[in-house]
Structure 1
Amino acid sequence: MPMDPFQNMQDWRKNMDRFFGENFWGEFEGIIKPPIPHINLYKSDNEILCYVNIPGLEDIDKVDVYVDYAILEIKGVISLQPQHHQLVQEEILQGSFERKIDLPYPVRGDKIHASYQNGLLIIQLHRLIHQETSKNRIKIHSIED
């Protein structure tokens, strides 16, 4: 009976989980496969700007942006496959994505602006002074060149 080479890997991983803790592999997931889309997050005393790299987006309604208190959630798909061509080299990560970003402070659900231009989704958020929670889908505006 042939031995399953992946069984040893599973056993090794379980032992590593026991030794380092169950979140050990989660720590490396972002290094092995970086999360998409890439983001830059900027803050001032009362405003947060989130730049989200989503190349090739043709339909802005195919990206969902939600804000709930101090979490920004972005869902969608990055797809750059041209017709009648075969992928030879891939450095721009593609595929379905779902990211939850912890914000540096709670933000207002009623004062949010999102726009898409030149491959960047720019989300402007404002600090929440009093507490409220409601997860709302944010409308994205297309800015023509």
Structure 2
Amino acid sequence: MNQFKDWKTNLDRFFGQDFWGDFEGMMKPSIPYVNMYQYDNELLCFVNIPGMNHPKNVDVFVDHSTLTLKGKIEINHRGGHQILSEIADGTFERSVDLPFPVRSDKIEATYKHGLLVVQLYRQVTNSSKQRPISIRHIEDE
């Protein structure tokens, strides 16, 4: 194993520090898989997380225009020798760039049948769009 580490270090030195980083995305898939759909002021993110027995096993973070998912995909198998491995499992952390900044105060997330659905809403910061504010009348006592 040390020989591989030395070999990798020498290649990094020769080709540059990010040599292996460029290949990593091609060699191992980004998990979990995400489908994202954009509407006018809304984003729907479908996240494939198989084997999750409770949504508390995944953390969802939204920071301005980045969605970050952290968790663990567990495929409980007992004994036996694995002869085929197509479902990625283990801990994951994935950040996805969003097409626009989203509101941090209005996020909805549901999990059902292996799909986590995260609903995000565009953050409207355009000051030229003024909306009337309703004033609640408090009468003198």
Q: TM-score, normalised by structure 1?
A: 0.77
The size of the alignment, in residue pairs, is 124
Report deviation, 1:47: 0.8
- Residue 91 to residue 45, structure 1, CA distance change in 2 (3 Å): same
Partner of 2:15: 16
Give the Å deviation of 1:117.
Answer: 1.3
Alignment-derived partner of residue 46 in structure 1? 41
Q: In structure 1, how many angstroms separate the alpha carbons of the residues matched to 2:71 and 2:45?
A: 16
Separation (CA, whole Å) in 2 of partners of 1:23 and 1:40: 28
* Structural RMSD (CA): 1.9
Q: Is the partner of 1:75 in helix, strand or coil?
A: strand
Please name the residue that 2:95 is paired with.
100
1:66 aligns with 2:61: yes
Please give the TM-score of this superposition, normalised by the length of structure 2. Answer: 0.79
How far is the alpha carbon of 1:86 from its aligned partner?
Answer: 3.9
After superposition, give the CA deviation of every residue in 1:81-104 in whole Å (9 maximum; x if it has no partner): 223444221100001001111111
Q: Secondary structure at the match of 1:105?
A: coil
Gaps in structure 2 of 5+ consecutive residues? 127-141
SS in 1 for 2:88: coil
Separation (CA, whole Å) in 1 of partners of 2:74 and 2:34: 17
- Residue pair 2:58, 2:69 contacting (<8 A) in 1 also: yes
Structure-2 separation of matches of 1:27 and 1:117:
34
Gaps of at least 5 residues in structure 1 are 132-145
Range with greater deviation from structure 2 (100-109 or 77-86): 77-86
Matched residue type, 1:11 = N
Q: Give the share of equivalent positions with the same residue, in percent.
A: 44
- Pair 1:118 & 2:113 matched: yes
